[in-house]
Structure 1
């Protein structure tokens, strides 16, 4: 799986994501769950009141050329951000999905994390988890997809 950041829309606001992650092996009809590693948003916009929203989405996961029994739709890929694992500079930091019970499918853009109040010059990190429902009848192979985080 490949993690691709989108370009930030505000000067002084940046997001860092882990490189490609291998979630391991799964079985058709089963679940595959794994950590994406640490995602970090850095806000260096100074002493002005600043807020931001980090979003996440996913492509389908495919093997070979894709097609019947070679594709896991992105509606079967769920995400939860988990809690803050590290922060500096303060502000009100709100996870998009604190627990596995709040996991959301990534077939549309979802809020991963947000800063609801506070000034700039801060960072926040979290370690999101993916859960992939593997349909029955999948062909054996290495499935790849792209999970994209962005911040604005």
Structure 2
């Protein structure tokens, strides 16, 4: 049995959400859910689950340009000391943002991968969402999903990895 735990990138701790400011864009923040347990599966199987809501808050007001891009990346998932049979590489982790689940303040908001058919692997940094036009002082929420293709021959254990969302 393989158990998958996902943790957000390190950030200031909050009771239920974590705010991550990895970008140099002042007035734009991204807020992610705390750790999530995707459940358990078997070698050669697949686990799919939602990461919880992701929110971008743009409080810059009427500045130009008033756009941003949210990106996502992942580490490999490992158990114990890692190694060939104790690692799920990030090339086996797929992500799709899904559509906007809620927004305020307007703007043109574009999901990176609206459906599972557009899922991308997280072996490189990918675009998760973007704002291409509109005013400041707005928020957008989406509920990303990840799918982990568990390699065959992997040992049982609790695998931990990090999904990082950032905005600039």
TM-score, normalized by length of structure 2?
A: 0.89
Select which of 37, 50, 68 maps to 2:52.
Answer: 37
Paired with 1:138 and 1:131, the residues of 2 have a C-alpha distance of 17
Does residue 149 (structure 1) correspond to residue 149 (structure 2)? The answer is no
Does residue 52 (structure 1) correspond to residue 76 (structure 2)? The answer is no
Select which of 108, 117, 120 maps to 2:136.
Answer: 120
| Conserved? CA contact 2:21–2:29, under 8 Å | no
Which residue pairs with 1:101 in the alignment? 117
Secondary structure of the equivalent of 2:148? strand
Structure 1 runs, 4 residues or longer, greater than 3 Å off: none
Q: Larger relative CO (CA 8 A, sep 6+): 1 or 2?
A: 1
Select which of 98, 102, 112 maps to 1:86.
Answer: 102
TM-score, normalized by length of structure 1?
A: 0.98
Select which of 7, 10, 32 maps to 1:2.
Answer: 7
Higher normalized strand content (fraction of residues) = 2
| Conserved? CA contact 2:101–2:142, under 8 Å | yes
How many corresponding residue pairs? Answer: 152
Select which of 33, 36, 58 maps to 1:21.
Answer: 36
Return 5+ residue gaps in structure 1 as ranges.
none
